[in-house]
């Protein structure tokens, strides 16, 4: 008996639209990427329950306070010259007036320093403040 040679049906997936799909994904990630301006310092954030998420990531500017009370703005320690905090934020507000200041302070940071930083923020009229916390918390 003679076996007929099987003609394999063409079952390739068309790849013509592949670049389009990939470009679409690419555009999404390009738009949603925000590059960090400063790397900051590692801090242990306090925990809280009643927290809100900030959706507009582009508007956030960070200020770091370490456990020992060192204040870091844009990767520069400004501990003994807190006036430069208000100067820095006045400049930031000129570029983007709707900024939200996110305070990333360590659990053990002294309140004296934090209140002084807040005074400086008030002077710079940067009034939208966020105490950065991690989730969880009591009750």
Partner 1 sequence: MIKKKKSQPSDIPTASTADIAFLLLLFFLVTTTINSDKGIRMVLPEFSEGEAETKQIHKDYLINILVNAEGKVLLNEEEVSLNDVKLKVTERVLKDHQAAIQKTAETYSNVGYLDQKFLKKYSTGKFTKDEEVIKDEYVKNLKLVVSVKVDKNTEYDVYIKVLDQLKQSYAKKISIAEPNV
Residues that bind partner 1 (CB under 8 A): 15, 18-19, 22-23, 25-26, 29-30, 32-33, 35, 46-55, 57, 60, 65, 102-103, 105-112, 114-116, 118-119, 121-123, 125, 127-133, 135, 137-139
If the CB atoms of residues 5 and 31 are measured against partner 1, the closer one turns out to be 31
If the CB atoms of residues 66 and 78 are measured against partner 1, the closer one turns out to be 66
In this structure, how many other beta carbons lie within 10 angstroms of the beta carbon of residue 120?
21
If the CB atoms of residues 38 and 118 are measured against partner 1, the closer one turns out to be 118
In this structure, how many other beta carbons lie within 10 angstroms of the beta carbon of residue 28?
10
Structure tokens at 64: 């770091």
Classify strands 60-65 and 71-73 as parallel, antiparallel or unpaired.
antiparallel
């Amino acid at each position: 008996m003679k076996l007929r040679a099987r003609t394999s049906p063409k079952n390739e997936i068309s790849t013509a639209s592949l670049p389009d799909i990939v470009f679409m994904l690419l555009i999404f990630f390009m738009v949603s990427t925000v590059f960090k301006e400063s790397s900051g310092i590692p801090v242990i954030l306090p925990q809280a329950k009643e927290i809100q998420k900030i959706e507009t990531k582009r508007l956030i500017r960070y200020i770091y306070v370490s456990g020992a009370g060192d204040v870091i703005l844009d990767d520069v320690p400004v501990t003994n010259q807190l006036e430069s905090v208000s100067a820095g934020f006045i400049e930031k507000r000129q570029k983007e007036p709707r900024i939200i200041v996110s305070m990333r302070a360590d659990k053990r940071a002294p309140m004296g320093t934090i209140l002084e930083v807040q005074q400086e923020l008030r002077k710079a009229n940067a009034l939208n403040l966020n105490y950065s916390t991690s989730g969880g918390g009591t009750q």
